[in-house]
Amino acid sequence: MELALKSLGSEGLFLFSSLDTNNDLYLSPEEFKPIAEKLTGVAPISEFEEEEMPDPSGETLSVVAKFQPLVMETMTKSKDGFLGISHVALSGLRNWTAPAAPMSVMLARQFKAFLPPKNKLDLGDPWWIIPSELNIFTGYLSNNRFYPPPPKGKEIIIHKLLSMFHPRPFVKTRFAPQGAVACIQAVSAFYYTIAFRIHAEFQLNEPPDFPFWFSPGQFTGHIILSKDSSHVREFKLFVPNNRSLNVDMEWLYGASESSNMEVDIGYLPQMELESTGPSIPSVIHDENGNVIDSRDPSGEPIQFVFEEITWQQEIPWEEAARKLEVAMYPFKKVSYLPFTQAFERAKAEKKLVHSILLWGALDDQSC
């Protein structure tokens, strides 16, 4: 390590370490890929995209991104005019004013990752789309990283969706609870409504700047899709904005894992993805199986009519969201009450009050 420091310098070693994900002091082709893409400007096709050949008769879903940047005045550091904080440190944050991709067209079948496993078909029974890999023994993941690892399996659709906001989403957060959890909110003969909650974060800076982590409190939302994932009726994902603070930010000030880190919290007014309508066939056939034009003789797009869904069972959104919250934070099995309500409950149950004062919310990633 001393030889590497002497050869590369502190900043060079810092960059090398951020790419050396397995800490073997050797950059494999896979680890070097982010830098190669940056230098060449060419992003190679991922293994998933090579294997996932579009079904010519499959349906596509149009998704739009809506984004309002962080309100800088809500950051604690803004109270003294960001005194002592270099402009470079916040450059990635200040420059992020719009979504990376305002609109994207995706294959409906890519959303099959949201379908429930066969043993999780009861309403409100949570399962993990992306399971957490962190526990009290593993600790947390390195702060010294710039580029996300290639997504695999069910991570791919989550990564693709979050990439509409920013090009460097990490679908697994550095700290627990990480991952994505879901449950069935409603069921019909052919459709599910799936409620989901995702803990992910973004890396806003690139070398030669030091890492800047942007961690929304949570991404939540729902999807209505057919049980065979061939059709998506509705999709929405968003960062809740009902609290005064909903984003945690952390940035390094040096070229090592032990370097000084600044921490702040702020308010993000809007960060959401929403489908423009139900998924539609990419190719249209007539009753004889012949391909027909997607526009009528007057040049207007053909209008599709979708059957109304009759739900056989459903639970309220609040109940589904609560189930996901408890799955992420088991301590939420205990009721946490607002200050005034707590004394009323304590008096009724003849119990003491345990009061906790926090800077942020204990039940999301912004704290």
pLDDT at 47: 40
Q: What is the pLDDT of residues 5-39, one digit of tens each?
A: 567 666 565 566 666 766 677 778 777 776 676 56
pLDDT at 169 over 90: yes
Query: Would you place residue 295 in the very low, low, confident or very high pLDDT band (cuts 50, 70, 90)?
Result: low
pLDDT at 82 over 90: no
pLDDT at 161: 98
pLDDT at 287: 75
| Three-state secondary structure of the chain | CHHHHHHHHHHHHHHHHHHCCCCCCCCCHHHHHHHHHHHHCCCCCCHHHHHCCCCCCCEEEEEEEEEECCEHHHCHHHHHCCCCCCCCCCHHHHHCCCCCCCEEEEEHHHHHHHCCCCCCCCECCCEEEECCCCCCCCCCCCCCCCCCCCCCCCHHHHHHHHCCCCCCEECCCCCCCCEEEEEEEEECCCEEEEEEEEECEEECCCCCCCCEEEEECCEEEEEEEECCCCCEEEEEEECCCCCCCCEEEEEECCCCCCCCEEEEEEECCEEEEEECCCCEECCEECCCCCEECCECCCCCECCCCCCCCCCCEECCHHHHHHHHHHHHCHHHHCCCCCHHHHHHHHHHHCCCCCCCCCCCCCCCCCC
Query: Would you place residue 134 in the very low, low, confident or very high pLDDT band (cuts 50, 70, 90)?
Result: confident
Which residues lie below 8 Å from residue 3, measured CB to CB, with a gap of 6+?
Answer: none
User: Mean of the pLDDT values across residues 138-163?
Assistant: 92
pLDDT at 51: 44
User: Mean of the pLDDT values across residues 124-135?
Assistant: 91
Least confident of 184-188, 210-214, 216-220, 333-337: 333-337
Query: Would you place residue 261 in the very low, low, confident or very high pLDDT band (cuts 50, 70, 90)?
Result: confident
Going from N- to C-terminal start, the domains of the chain cover 1-40, 59-331
pLDDT at 80: 78
Q: What is the pLDDT of residues 87-98, one digit of tens each?
A: 788 999 999 999
| pTM of the predicted protein model | 0.81
User: Mean of the pLDDT values across residues 277-301?
Assistant: 74
- Edge to edge, the sheet with strand 201-203 lists 169-170, 201-203, 212-216, 247-252, 261-266
Instruction: Report the C-alpha gap between 214 and 251 in whole angstroms.
Output: 9
Distance of CA 176 to the CA centre of its chain: 14
Least confident of 44-48, 210-214, 215-219: 44-48
**Percent of the chain scored above 70 by pLDDT?**
81
Kindly report the average pLDDT of the chain as a whole number.
86
Least confident of 116-125, 148-157, 196-205, 337-346: 337-346
pLDDT at 41 over 60: no
- Strand 59-68 relative to strand 169-170, pairing: unpaired
Q: What is the pLDDT of residues 297-329, one digit of tens each?
A: 666 667 788 899 999 999 999 999 999 999 999
pLDDT at 251 over 50: yes
pLDDT at 228 over 90: yes
